Structure 1
Amino acid sequence: MIRGTDAATVRDALERAESLPGTFGFAGELDGRLVRDVLGRVPLFVEREGVDGSVLGRDSWAFSPTDLADPVPFPAGAVADGVERTQVWELPEPPVEADHDRALERVDRAIGRAAEAVDATDVAVAFSGGVDSALVAELLDAPLYVAGFPGSHDVAAARTAAEAMGRELEVVTLEPADLERAVPTVARAIGRTNAMDVQIALPLYLVAERVAAEGFDALAVGQGADELFGGYEKVARLDHRVDADTVRGAVREQIHTLPDQLPRDVLALEAAGVEPVAPLLHDDVVDAALRLPTALLVDGEIRKRGLRIVAGEYLPDSVATREKKAVQYGSLVARELDRLARQAGYKRRMDDHVTKYVEALLEDGV
């Protein structure tokens, strides 16, 4: 069973060792082999004793960690046949497109093709008001939803961006009780209890929960744009948080973090009852981003410059140029989860007090 694309496409990608065969990612079992795409866009897990590929029974792998006794992620880009595991696909290193206009045209075409490949009939958009989700929203022409606590940056930014775009916006106003209720469900679904991952997954889950309740089958997100297009401050500054000494090298570092990050987001959305849709993570978009020259990744204080230029053809300048906060901070979920942990007796002087609070909720069977 393969998720994400058809079996013929994966067989062809295997035969050609083609890392970006024109999909939104894939994973599963094909012809007696486990496979997972190069960016790990579809979650795949195996029992710990079978991680090297030596075990390949149907009960030894799953798309969700909750279906296994001792799950570990199956590596992105790998193939296992029950005897050994092989790294078949690697992140490509295509030549840099020196002509800026051609590079931007390639990104524009790729994003357009990705949007056209999405079945937009029953899809909504997780909308933070930033350029990533705004571009997705504009191209899909789908309803906009944002989740956040009263007074949060994300809700305010989403409102002003929606107004500038002439679009209606549904606001999922959060309360502390929403976090208390959702934390155990989210932590179990993503197979993680650390504070950062839970804080990131919570607003995704809560907005997806509303979207599912209102009859949508899928939720489109802007995930991947920061990694692909140079959206992080640490990449622009080349500070201690990156190993590379060039912007392009630092961008590749961030792309390599996607196989660890994306399963968290996918599993959180699936737990809420919707299918994740990430147009900016389509293979064609990845390929176009990898070809961008440095000046279209970071230019002085401007991050994601190339993406912003392309987005400016579709969005008001105030939206295309807007910076945004990370979702856990912009929604105030991180602040409120910290407050709940302290109210429950897990003080900040304790090491990783929010994680301990999450683990306690799970142990109590909440």
Structure 2
Amino acid sequence: MRGASAERAARAVADGEPLFDSRGFAGRLPDGRLVRDVLGRQPIFLGERDWSFAPGDLDDPEPLPAGRIFDPESGDTEPVFSLPDPPTAADSREAILNVESALRESLGAVAPDDLAVAFSGGVDSAVVASAFDAPLYVVGFPESHDIEAARRAARLMGREEELRVVELSPADVERAVPEVARATGRTNAMDVQIALPLYLAAEQAAADGFERLAVGQGADELFGGYAKVARAPEDPRVEAETVRGAAREVIGSLPDQLERDVLALRAAGVEPVAPLLDDRVIRAALALPGELLVDGRGERKKALRLAAREFVPDAVAFREKKAVQYGSLVAREVDRLARQAGFKRRMDDHVSQYVEFVVER
């Protein structure tokens, strides 16, 4: 069992308790059944005759869906957990204080040994970084937005000496594309472009001797960080009629995304640590009203930013940031590599075709 003891996970299954102050769990219960937590924070895979935390160990691996339990004897899979749907917090100040308290408890529960931090200068990674006397790794091309933002945030936080800049070259990305695709089992452009910066930052942290990498994963989904959530219900990418409903809809995408990220980080040689995906933080986020996810001016992650003021300077807490694949310029470089290899933009999904080509080569 990873992420909790088998006995504690068994109690959660028996009680139908999806959140109990863990950061996710998966593995074999004392009775031999397999389980995966409600948000799939710990991936686990089923093969024809066995199971593993690493899909490469199995023939034709299939992930056990989040919140489900699998009985090897019967071959049956059934739901055991569902994401809580708490009442909307009526008092905005209390809701923000709950987020602040949850962040403090979650960060305080992380052991600092052998830990580095993935740091892009945004509020998510800055809050995580604030809790640890550890090196901060930012990855990107020399002229990238993320490197500039990380340097500025580190300066504002008094952490300039701890910032380690991993400056990429085209050769770094070209080498890593097939490695990431094989590690994650994915060749679509978006997944590979998102996982690449994580992989390359983690690879350097591992080379520097660190065994664990703290990341800010989960904040955008939990706290309303996506444009499609802010634009609900007009945005066709969500079905919900409210911002709060759209945020919950997006939270449902976490198991698939976390599987990709965890596999990429482990392939790079580190174990991911995600304090913002602690059960305590999830509970606080699920209770937020829509206006604390996206305020009347369209500012996203409002509650998280207000709570973050207790951990980082305001200029960091309220800073907008690009998605990592764009802020690092990795997506631009993968697109260039694809075109250089003959996969032109007029072709259907040319970057995914390029990734498939280099994996099979």
TM-score of the two chains, using structure 1 as the length reference? 0.95
Distance in 1, Cα, partners of 2:238 & 2:137: 33
Query: Which 5+ residue runs of structure 2 have no aligned equivalent?
Result: none
Amino acid at match of 1:289: A
Among the aligned pairs, what percent are the same residue?
65
Report the 3-state secondary structure (helix = DSSP H, G, I; strand = E; otherwise coil) of the residue aligned with 1:91: coil
Paired residues of 1:337 and 1:354 also in contact (CA < 8 A): yes
Query: Which 5+ residue runs of structure 1 have no aligned equivalent?
Result: 51-56
Report the 3-state secondary structure (helix = DSSP H, G, I; strand = E; otherwise coil) of the residue aligned with 2:183: helix
1:79 is aligned to 69
For residue 316 of structure 1, report the CA deviation from its aligned partner.
1.1
2:97 is aligned to 105
**1:72-129 superposed Cα distances (whole Å, 9 cap, x missing partner):** 2211000111222110100001122211121112111111111111111211111111
2:45 is aligned to 45
Distance in 2, Cα, partners of 1:25 & 1:35: 11
For residue 12 of structure 1, report the CA deviation from its aligned partner.
1.0
1:25 is aligned to 24
After TM superposition, the structure 1 = structure 2 runs for residues 60-99 of structure 1, keeping only pairs within 5 Å, are 61-82=51-72, 83=74, 84-99=76-91
Report the 3-state secondary structure (helix = DSSP H, G, I; strand = E; otherwise coil) of the residue aligned with 1:204: helix
Distance in 1, Cα, partners of 2:126 & 2:261: 19
Report the 3-state secondary structure (helix = DSSP H, G, I; strand = E; otherwise coil) of the residue aligned with 2:106: helix
From 194, 212, 217, the counterpart of 1:218: 212
1:324 and 2:354 correspond = no
Report the 3-state secondary structure (helix = DSSP H, G, I; strand = E; otherwise coil) of the residue aligned with 2:246: helix
Distance in 2, Cα, partners of 1:99 & 1:296: 11
1:133 and 2:125 correspond = yes
Paired residues of 2:6 and 2:28 also in contact (CA < 8 A): no
Amino acid at match of 1:348: R
C-alpha RMSD over aligned residues: 1.0
Paired residues of 1:111 and 1:285 also in contact (CA < 8 A): yes
Distance in 2, Cα, partners of 1:209 & 1:98: 44
1:306 is aligned to 303
**1:113-163 superposed Cα distances (whole Å, 9 cap, x missing partner):** 111111112111111110000000002332211000121111111111111
1:233 and 2:230 correspond = no
Amino acid at match of 1:190: T
From 179, 187, 190, the counterpart of 1:185: 179
Distance in 1, Cα, partners of 2:6 & 2:99: 27
Distance in 2, Cα, partners of 1:112 & 1:5: 20
From 343, 346, 349, the counterpart of 2:343: 346
Report the 3-state secondary structure (helix = DSSP H, G, I; strand = E; otherwise coil) of the residue aligned with 1:242: coil
Report the 3-state secondary structure (helix = DSSP H, G, I; strand = E; otherwise coil) of the residue aligned with 2:173: helix
Distance in 2, Cα, partners of 1:193 & 1:46: 21
**1:282-339 superposed Cα distances (whole Å, 9 cap, x missing partner):** 0110001001122211102211110000101221111000011111111000000110
Tell me the number of residue pairs that the alignment of Structure 1 and Structure 2 aligns: 353
2:203 is aligned to 209
